Structure 1
Amino acid sequence: MRKSHGVVPLAGLLAAASTIHANADGAMLRAVQSLDEPRGYCLDIAGAGPTLDLDAPLQAHTCKGESPIDDQLFEADAQAIRASEHDRCVAVEALEPGQPLRLRACDGSRLQRWRFEGGQLRPGSRSELCVALAAARGEPWGTPRLVSPAYRRQTLALADCGATVAALTEFRWLEPAEVPRSRADTARDGMPFDLAVSLAAFGHEFDGAIAQQTAALYAPQPRVYEPEEIAVTKDLAYGPHERQRVDIYTRARRPAEPVPAIVVFHGGGLIGGSRAATTNVAEYFASLGYVGVNGGYRLAPDAKWPDGARDVAAAVTYLRDHVAEYGGDPRRIFVAGISTGALHAATYVFRPELVPADAARAAGAILISGPYTFDFAAAGRGELAYFGEDRSLWPSMVVNGNVSRTDVPVLMTTAEWDNARYTKAYAGLFHELVTEHGVTPRYFQSLGHNHSSQLLSLGTRDQSVSSVIVDFVERTGAR
């Protein structure tokens, strides 16, 4: 059965041996005090991987958050401490001070019997002795490429407990998941490996079928919040059309001070999509203490350019007038959109002449993989339904080439697996903003993600996208 002790000191754990048989994953034995190593010192077999030396004395080594970690995995087995992956037990050659710890074939002898007393690992038949680190400072030791700071190590041996500083003799169990990573190449660490492989397999292609498969990949992912933490008020009308609705999410116990509000608009190729695709986004923002808003808008062919931007403006104006009722700050309303939602949000932000003059101004915009322009020679069904069939008007309708306002702070993202339709549109708009208007919006490439997984990841353990959005919101002032 799996150990349940986690970070609890080891005192008394071996006294109830039948309850602490560890599974094959094992755990780590860490010195309670960090001493000169913030990551802590763990019981360690010399070497690692192909250089592992099972016959060398055991040592105290920086607790590792990177594979391989089989050299630091141990488990309590009756009165023995067993190396989980190597079927050997911790032993000494003699029950005397100064004796180093070693690994030997498990035989149940008194040289392999241990008990914990007051957080100290003591020989079963010599309770005045205990395992101790040699000193308060270790020495730099072999460190893999890209790991920083360098690993450190110390020697371990039996010592007279009464004559040894307690900080050098106290240990506790540590689950591997508790150990912070030390590698420098951590940009992709947030995404689970199986998701990264699946998304990469789709490549740069993206269509409705891939969108459905991507959503199916994320549906079972654990959430970092519980449903009971969230309160929601649904179907609030900001206009007469049935799609001109917002759902407002807050923490069940709202913060005392007004908080930013973030309204997100879904994608769907101008003619499809719904708020159901972005529920997780509003929920996640609410779980953080913000007001999360899930916004709808009219679709083509019922809606024609620039109705999408006008719906965004109307929703923000509604929130300006009502968000305080939900604990939100009317001066800090952010618009966020993905794909078509980003197009409509960008049109609202960068082309104010297209929306009513009294429309509320957003505090900032988060634009995720938007089609800010399109290939005029290959217009699709959505473009024809929304922009109309008069091709001569298209260049004046898109965002690219028509920016007239740049005073709203903007964060733009694209996905690593976005196709050229989105990366070219982003690149053109970014170039226009920098070269023609002298402004540089923030930009982030969502590593490992495809077009729709960027927002699907919000609320999961993958914080690679959400952390950037939160940083932008927190560092953008009120309008």
Structure 2
Amino acid sequence: MFFEKEKFIARRKAAFIICATVFMLLRDAQPASAQPAGTVRAAKDIRYATRSGSDAKLNSLDVYTLEGQAAAKPVVVFIHGGGWRIGDKQSGAKVKAESFAKAGYVFVSINYRLSPAVTHPAHIEDVAKALRWVHGNIATYGGDSSQIFVMGHSAGAHLAALIATDDRYLNAEGMSLKNLRGAILLDGGSYNMTAAIGKDERIADAFGSDKAAWKQASPVYNVSQGKNIPPFLIIYVATREATKRQSEQLAKALTDSGIKADVQPASNKTHATLNKELGLPNDPPTAQVYAFLKSLTNAVR
């Protein structure tokens, strides 16, 4: 009888321990499932254009939004780099998408056709078509079509600068430079292609061998007053002399034409980490980007 009683007590203790363990596990798991308002949702592979003979994914984009957001949010459209030849809308997008969506922006990352399968102006025409889609459809995803910013890294920075300075491409899509609130450039080295040292082969791959065409596709030579060119934030890696020169030349062309341009060196960064780490907490370039966006949000142009 004594042993039976001990077994009973032992079974009750074991049952209590199991119940307590389950309770603690459920309690610890609760916060993760109780934050739907902080969940970033992605609508992926949305076609913004149809091109015969081209991979459909090259004319697609992803839209990232914060679940439960109320008012329409400003929109940041990101253009990936890769020398106009490689890269994808998902490259480095996860950190940025989470950060920008949670900071109160709708984040869009786009693909475009790549060289050598296509050459200029195919890349920039795709960017223009993507922006037309964003302008016409982003309200469905909680975005404010009157507050669209373009941002690009490397070759994507060149495309962001070109779409924001040469109005022909947006005009062809029924838009204008007034539809862009601002441009953010991350370590681009081809704002003036005629002076892009060591890039001749890569540029020829994407823009042909005619250097007159290189000049036409250079944002520096498309800057002028009266075109409604938006403000620029130009960030370059502090240790890269080539991108420093290119960034400062573009900034000078803009400011000489009365256009706001803030040029900033990024210390302790490489070309890759500037892009990879954008959106991380305590990242100085990220803070500069958010300050720039905040300064222009709801501003009248």
Residue of structure 2 in register with 1:440 after alignment: 260
Q: What is the CA-CA distance between 1:366 and the residue it aligns to? A: 0.7
Is there any run of 5+ residues in structure 1 with no aligned partner, and where?
1-224
Distance 2:45 2:265 in 1: 33
Distance 2:228 2:235 in 1: 17
Distance 1:359 1:413 in 2: 27
1:186-201 alignment, distance < 5 Å: none
Distance 1:343 1:269 in 2: 10
Contact map agreement 1:264 1:282 (CA 8 A) in 2: no
Distance 1:392 1:458 in 2: 35
Distance 1:458 1:379 in 2: 25
Residue of structure 2 in register with 1:391 after alignment: 211
Residue of structure 2 in register with 1:358 after alignment: 174
- C-alpha root-mean-square deviation of aligned residues, in Å? 2.3
Among candidates 201, 209, 221, match of residue 401 of structure 1: 221
Q: What is the CA-CA distance between 1:322 and the residue it aligns to? A: 1.0
Distance 2:197 2:247 in 1: 19
Among candidates 287, 294, 297, match of residue 112 of structure 2: 297
Q: What is the CA-CA distance between 1:406 and the residue it aligns to? A: 5.0
1:414 equivalent to 2:236? Answer: yes
Residue of structure 2 in register with 1:235 after alignment: 45
Residue of structure 1 in register with 2:277 after alignment: 457
Q: What is the CA-CA distance between 1:357 and the residue it aligns to? A: 5.5
**Structure 1 residues 391 and 459, CA, compared in 2 at 3 Å: closer, same or farther?**
closer
Q: What is the CA-CA distance between 1:428 and the residue it aligns to? A: 1.4
**Structure 1 residues 406 and 432, CA, compared in 2 at 3 Å: closer, same or farther?**
farther
Residue of structure 2 in register with 1:271 after alignment: 85
Among candidates 292, 295, 300, match of residue 472 of structure 1: 292
Q: What is the CA-CA distance between 1:379 and the residue it aligns to? A: 4.0
Q: Write the deviation string for residues 39-95 of structure 1: whole angstroms up to 9, x where unpaired.
A: xxxxxxxxxxxxxxxxxxxxxxxxxxxxxxxxxxxxxxxxxxxxxxxxxxxxxxxxx
Distance 1:377 1:445 in 2: 20
Contact map agreement 1:314 1:359 (CA 8 A) in 2: no
Residue of structure 2 in register with 1:42 after alignment: none
Q: Tell me the SS of whatever aligns to 2:82.
A: coil
**Structure 1 residues 376 and 403, CA, compared in 2 at 3 Å: closer, same or farther?**
same
Contact map agreement 2:151 2:157 (CA 8 A) in 1: yes
Is there any run of 5+ residues in structure 2 with no aligned partner, and where?
1-34
Q: What is the CA-CA distance between 1:433 and the residue it aligns to? A: 1.9
Distance 1:448 1:226 in 2: 36
Residue of structure 1 in register with 2:156 after alignment: 341
CA radius of gyration, larger in: 1
Distance 1:311 1:357 in 2: 10
1:239-258 alignment, distance < 5 Å: 239-241=49-51, 242=56, 243-254=58-69, 256-258=70-72
Give aligned-pair identity as a percent: 27
Q: Tell me the SS of whatever aligns to 1:350.
A: coil
Q: What is the CA-CA distance between 1:368 and the residue it aligns to? A: 1.3
Q: What is the CA-CA distance between 1:439 and the residue it aligns to? A: 2.6
Q: Tell me the SS of whatever aligns to 2:164.
A: helix
Question: Paired residues, what number?
Answer: 252
Contact map agreement 1:264 1:278 (CA 8 A) in 2: no
Contact map agreement 1:264 1:281 (CA 8 A) in 2: no
Q: Which has the higher strand share?
A: 1
Question: Which residue identity is paired with 1:320?
Answer: H
**Structure 1 residues 288 and 400, CA, compared in 2 at 3 Å: closer, same or farther?**
same
Q: Which has the higher helix share?
A: 2
Q: Tell me the SS of whatever aligns to 1:261.
A: strand
Q: Tell me the SS of whatever aligns to 1:401.
A: helix
Residue of structure 2 in register with 1:372 after alignment: 191
Q: What is the CA-CA distance between 1:413 and the residue it aligns to? A: 0.9
Q: What is the CA-CA distance between 1:415 and the residue it aligns to? A: 1.5
Distance 2:108 2:197 in 1: 36
Distance 1:406 1:338 in 2: 23
1:319 equivalent to 2:134? Answer: yes
Distance 1:286 1:454 in 2: 19
Contact map agreement 1:345 1:367 (CA 8 A) in 2: yes
Contact map agreement 2:44 2:62 (CA 8 A) in 1: yes
Contact map agreement 2:72 2:139 (CA 8 A) in 1: yes
Contact map agreement 2:128 2:169 (CA 8 A) in 1: no
TM-score normalised by the chain length of structure 1: 0.49
**Structure 1 residues 253 and 269, CA, compared in 2 at 3 Å: closer, same or farther?**
same
Question: Which residue identity is paired with 1:413?
Answer: I
Q: Tell me the SS of whatever aligns to 1:452.
A: helix
TM-score normalised by the chain length of structure 2: 0.77
Contact map agreement 1:366 1:412 (CA 8 A) in 2: yes
Question: Which residue identity is paired with 2:175?
Answer: A
Q: What is the CA-CA distance between 1:354 and the residue it aligns to? A: 3.9
**Highest RCO, 1 vs 2 (Cα 8 Å, sep ≥ 6):** 2
**Structure 1 residues 238 and 390, CA, compared in 2 at 3 Å: closer, same or farther?**
same
Contact map agreement 2:36 2:68 (CA 8 A) in 1: no
Contact map agreement 1:372 1:399 (CA 8 A) in 2: yes
Distance 2:251 2:228 in 1: 12
Distance 2:279 2:267 in 1: 17
Q: What is the CA-CA distance between 1:305 and the residue it aligns to? A: 1.6
Q: Tell me the SS of whatever aligns to 1:294.
A: strand
